[in-house]
Amino acid sequence: MKRNVLPGLPLSLGITLFYVALIVVLPLAALVVKAASLGPAEYWAIVSSPRAVASYRVTVLSALVATAFNLVFGLALAWVLVRYRFPGRRIIDAIVDLPFALPTAVAGIALTTLFASNGWFGALLAPFGIKVAYTPLGIMVAMCFTSLPFIVRTVQPVLEDLDPALEEAAQSLGGSDSAIFVRVILPLLIPALLAGLSLSFARSLGEFGAIIFIAGNQPMETEITALLAFIRLEEYDYQAAAAIASVLLITAFLMLAATNLLQARALRYTARS
């Protein structure tokens, strides 16, 4: 009889479900129950207030811009790390994971120091009239920093596993480099890119520590939704905090559901091709 390193299905499944229920489901359920304790009219009044709507706009638009930037830069970075060998490659590959290990508050302080008007980067941008710290642009920079690894780490393994014979066959048929990338490589990367984009966008929506130091946190201008929920908690308005947080939760779930649907379609298309 074949031995398994892990215990049998009942025990493994029980441990897994207990962990998921304790760490994931229980906190989310508490949030939903707290928000549901409000009446429909009161809930709508909280989540549709001008300050809340302004925070949604700032958060979602900044997250979309950061995710679009990470799509291009993250794909390019993954491509360089996989396809080229150069001095310092391992160091750069390790630095990609830095946002995972670095406390977000430390990242926010570091970014604020760099992009302040007298910082290393801020002083270079000031003559061009570009201000990063305490503006929506600073929020985007912080989101880019914290969510970039999701794109790189989802695309990188797929690039490493691509069969070189596919590119060689396309080259033998006279395909240009750009045509090979668009018609041969990119379709195979789409499922991984969608996964990375959804994770990057969800992380940007919920980012807090790295943003509050560089955003300026001005209501209606640079206040993100997570900060508004935190402010309501400090005011002991737990129901309002839960209602505002539930909007982020619903948005993240919708984003993940749409991404899973697109991934399934992309995988079926790739299989048929």
Where are the domains positioned within the chain? 34-272
What is the per-residue pLDDT for 50? 92
174: left (phi over 0), alpha (psi -120 to 50) or beta: left
Looking at the structure, give the CATH architecture of the domain made up of residues 34-272.
Answer: Orthogonal Bundle (1.10)
Query: Residue 160: CA atoms inside 13 Å, Cβ hemisphere, count?
Result: 9
What is the per-residue pLDDT for 269? 66
- Give the residue from 182, 158, 159 showing the smallest Cα distance to 170: 182
How far is C-alpha 107 from the chain's CA centre? 16
What is the per-residue pLDDT for 59? 93
Distance between start and end Cα atoms, the chain: 40
Q: What are the structure tokens assigned to 79, written together?
A: 């491509």
What is the per-residue pLDDT for 217? 83
Q: What is the pLDDT along the chain (273 residues), one digit of tens a residue?
A: 556 665 666 777 777 777 777 777 777 777 778 787 888 888 899 889 999 999 999 999 999 999 999 999 999 999 999 888 888 888 998 888 888 888 888 888 989 899 988 888 888 888 888 888 888 999 999 999 999 999 999 999 988 888 777 777 777 777 677 778 878 788 888 888 888 888 899 889 888 888 988 888 888 888 999 899 889 888 888 888 888 888 888 888 888 788 778 777 766 766 665
**Hunting for tokens 């948005």 — which residue is that?**
251
Rounded alpha-carbon distances, angstroms, from residue 93 to 81, 84, 88, 161, 229: 7, 12, 9, 17, 35
Q: What are the structure tokens assigned to 4, written together?
A: 């398994």
- Give the residue from 212, 199, 180 showing the smallest Cα distance to 259: 199
- Give the residue from 5, 60, 94, 74 showing the smallest Cα distance to 201: 60
Rounded alpha-carbon distances, angstroms, from residue 57 to 122, 204, 263: 25, 13, 27
What is the per-residue pLDDT for 250? 86
